[in-house]
Chain A
Amino acid sequence: MTALLHYLPLLGVLVVVIGFALRFNPVPVVVVAGIVSGLAAGKSIGDILALLGTSFVSERALLLFVLTLPAIGVLERAGLREHARNWIASLRSLTLPRLLIAYLGLRQILSMLGLTSVAGQAQTVRPLLAPMAEAAAEKRGRPLAPEERNAVRAFSAATDNIGLFFGEDVFIALGAVLLIQGFYAQHGIELHPLQIALWALPTAIAAFVIHAIRTLLFARRIRNVASGPAAPLEQQSRTANEQQNKLDTDQHG
């Protein structure tokens, strides 16, 4: 009986798994999971509410990224994404894999230096990297089909995540390394942060190599996909823009 009680809070995990599998809106799923797991642990409604409230507000730094939205929005209104696209299209030698792999490397190095908030999905991927990657992909001579455009955008977002995660773990002054050191110190094992950071390097390098290879394969797939004959160069960039404009109007019009 006591053993069963010990495992009962896992019901909250079950709620999350079922809710996500059935594709319910994640926010209520998560809140219900918290309440279920609190009830299963024998907490009162008042305690559960307080726990939910304090856990929520103590993590409010996670909402800081919304502060980038006004500046990015004003620039988008004046054609930031369109210009990013035009500019990359004009740089002949900047191909899709070169753009994404350079971004991956830069993001990893910046994160290793502790500069994790310098780039991000809101700061750099939506306004800069994604439109640039789309333009670079269209250098194959044909505009992107909507599903290809989405695939390029998703791959750009993935590249940002991978660069962030597998650089951050090497940085010694914040985050992961200090958490590891602090945890060991509590358990009577004294380590220097540099010792820990050093051993995250092999995986960071492996992450770069693996994702760079996947980027090359992804770019080749986008480039070689069978389709109609390529339009002459001059005409093609114009059709690409027109197609994008049409897409935008379709989405927002």
Chain B
Amino acid sequence: MLTIEQAYWLIALFLAGAAILNLRAHRWSHAAFWGVLAVLIAGGKYVLAAHAAHHQFPAQLAGVGVIALAVLSPRMTRGQVSERDSAAREADALRLRHRLFGPALLIPLVTLLVALFGAYCVVGGVHLFAPYRMTLTGLALSCVVALIAALWVTRAKPAAGLAEGRRLLDTLGWAALLPLTLAALGGVFAATGVGTAVADVVRLAVPVNSALACVLAFGAGMVLFTVIMGNAFAAFPVLMAGVGIPLLIHLHGANPAILGAMGMVTGYCGTLFTPMAANFNIVPVALLELPGQNDVIRAQWKTGALLLVVNLTLMYFLVFRF
């Protein structure tokens, strides 16, 4: 049976390979960075199991690993790994043409097939895919299938998979790590009561008898909190418990379904504004080799702002009517 845990092992293996290539090139910081990360990813299940059994030491060690990554991050300078020269790439492109698209499209295609039919794949009474996070397991499988197809189409040696993967990984550098680090910060914020404190600040500032003021405060709180946490999912329970349920639903009689759906979407608008949503706003800056850290946010914030206005207007006119 294929599980998400095997996908994590695959990530760890890839990271370890990248660490070894960097070690050979005497790029010590990069080697250490990917090496530590590989150990954290591979040991994740063990750390969580030990923590659940109240053994704190492995979790504390993982915490030390996270701090080590943070210390190494500023040394992860970009763009030192050279690419194959562009004339050779252009020649291959003219020769292979549409065959190059095949393996690239296999990634979405295989992911899609697993997402749709994975639950029905049974061989000898055993399910081929574990139900937990099956789409993500499918994504990992599709990457392996696509790599094999890519090697076959381009007649490259298998070692090229690791070498080219490492080139892109080093291009990403610390940006690859930021989503994980931010998610960890979200966990810390939740455990230290940052959420309730923010909700209290919002409530202190609002004239509660005005339905409009409550809608605006809820919207502003969702956006602000999403910008800080980089994730609307983290903002939603806090703002709903602090403002949505007591003030909008109980005091002003808002429709919960509309408030929930449109409230969450308000947070999504906030995601477009914040470098904290690193996997959407910072990782592509590295992937596309853009010069400014906030270039993607600069391209999308106007859509977010306009949509925020439309969404809050719709919410105000719909939420008390149905």
**B272, A165: Cβ atoms closer than 8 Å:** yes
Mark each residue of chain B from 179 to 203: 1 if its CB lies under 8 Å from any CB of chain A, else 0: 1111111111101111011101100
Q: Which of A10, A46, A154, A195 contacts B290 (CB 8 A)?
A: A154
CA gap between A13 and B191 in the complex, in Å: 14
Q: What residues of B have a CB within 8 angstroms of the CB of A27 in the complex?
A: 69-70, 73, 174, 177-178, 181
Q: Does B135 contact A (CB under 8 A)?
A: yes
Q: Does B253 contact A (CB under 8 A)?
A: no
CA gap between A181 and B15 in the complex, in Å: 38
Q: What residues of A have a CB within 8 angstroms of the CB of B83 in the complex?
A: 76-77, 248, 252
How many chain A residues touch B (Cβ–Cβ < 8 Å)?
126
**B44, A150: Cβ atoms closer than 8 Å:** no
**B236, A183: Cβ atoms closer than 8 Å:** yes
Q: Which one of A58, A157, A211 has the greatest number of beta carbons of chain B within 10 Å?
A: A157
Mark each residue of chain A from 42 to 74: 1 if its CB lies under 8 Å from any CB of chain B, else 0: 010011111111111111111111111111111
Name B300's closest neighbour in chain A (CB-CB). A158
Q: Does A75 contact B (CB under 8 A)?
A: yes
**B164, A62: Cβ atoms closer than 8 Å:** no
Q: What residues of B have a CB within 8 angstroms of the CB of A165 in the complex?
A: 268, 271-272
**A83, B96: Cβ atoms closer than 8 Å:** yes
**A155, B314: Cβ atoms closer than 8 Å:** no
Q: What residues of A have a CB within 8 angstroms of the CB of B187 in the complex?
A: 51, 54-55, 58-59
Q: Which of B146, B262, B288 contacts A153 (CB 8 A)?
A: B288
Name B261's closest neighbour in chain A (CB-CB). A199
Q: What residues of B have a CB within 8 angstroms of the CB of A54 in the complex?
A: 47-48, 51, 59, 62, 187
- What is the CB-to-nearest-CB distance from B193 to chain A, in angstroms, rounded to a whole number? 5
CA gap between A157 and B282 in the complex, in Å: 10
Name B133's closest neighbour in chain A (CB-CB). A61
Name B141's closest neighbour in chain A (CB-CB). A67
Q: Which of A79, A121, A158, A248 contacts B96 (CB 8 A)?
A: A79
CA gap between A179 and B232 in the complex, in Å: 11
Name A184's closest neighbour in chain B (CB-CB). B256
**B115, A206: Cβ atoms closer than 8 Å:** no
Name B290's closest neighbour in chain A (CB-CB). A150
Q: Does B82 contact A (CB under 8 A)?
A: yes
CA gap between A26 and B188 in the complex, in Å: 16
Q: What residues of A have a CB within 8 angstroms of the CB of B240 in the complex?
A: 183
- A9-B192, A122-B283, A206-B307 are known contacts. Are A214 and B147 too (CB-CB below 8 A)? no
Q: Which of A91-99, A126-134, A135-143, A227-235 forms part of the interface with chain B?
A: A126-134
Q: Does A221 contact B (CB under 8 A)?
A: no
User: Could you tell me which residues of chain A, from 65 to 122, have a CB within 8 Å of some CB in chain B?
Assistant: 65-84, 86-87, 114-119, 121-122
Name B182's closest neighbour in chain A (CB-CB). A30
Q: Which of B22-30, B99-107, B213-221 forms part of the interface with chain A?
A: B99-107
Please give the residue numbers on chain A whose beta carbons come within 8 Å of chain B beta carbons, in ascending order: 6-7, 9-10, 12-13, 16-17, 20, 23, 25-28, 30-34, 37-38, 40-41, 43, 46-84, 86-87, 114-119, 121-128, 130, 150-151, 153-158, 160-162, 164-166, 169, 176-177, 179-181, 183-184, 187, 189, 191, 195-200, 202-203, 206-207, 210-211, 214, 241, 244-245, 248-249, 251-253
A-B contact pairs, 11 of them (CB 8 A): A25-B74, A46-B60, A70-B147, A80-B93, A153-B290, A154-B284, A177-B261, A180-B261, A180-B264, A200-B264, A203-B262
Query: In the complex, given contacts A71-B161, A77-B160, what are 11 additional A-B residue pairs having Cβ atoms less than 8 angstroms apart?
Result: A13-B189, A26-B178, A26-B181, A26-B275, A53-B63, A63-B37, A75-B150, A158-B272, A161-B300, A177-B261, A245-B86
> Which 7 residue pairs across A and B have the least CB separation, nearest first?
A73-B164, A55-B187, A79-B93, A53-B62, A49-B63, A70-B165, A158-B300
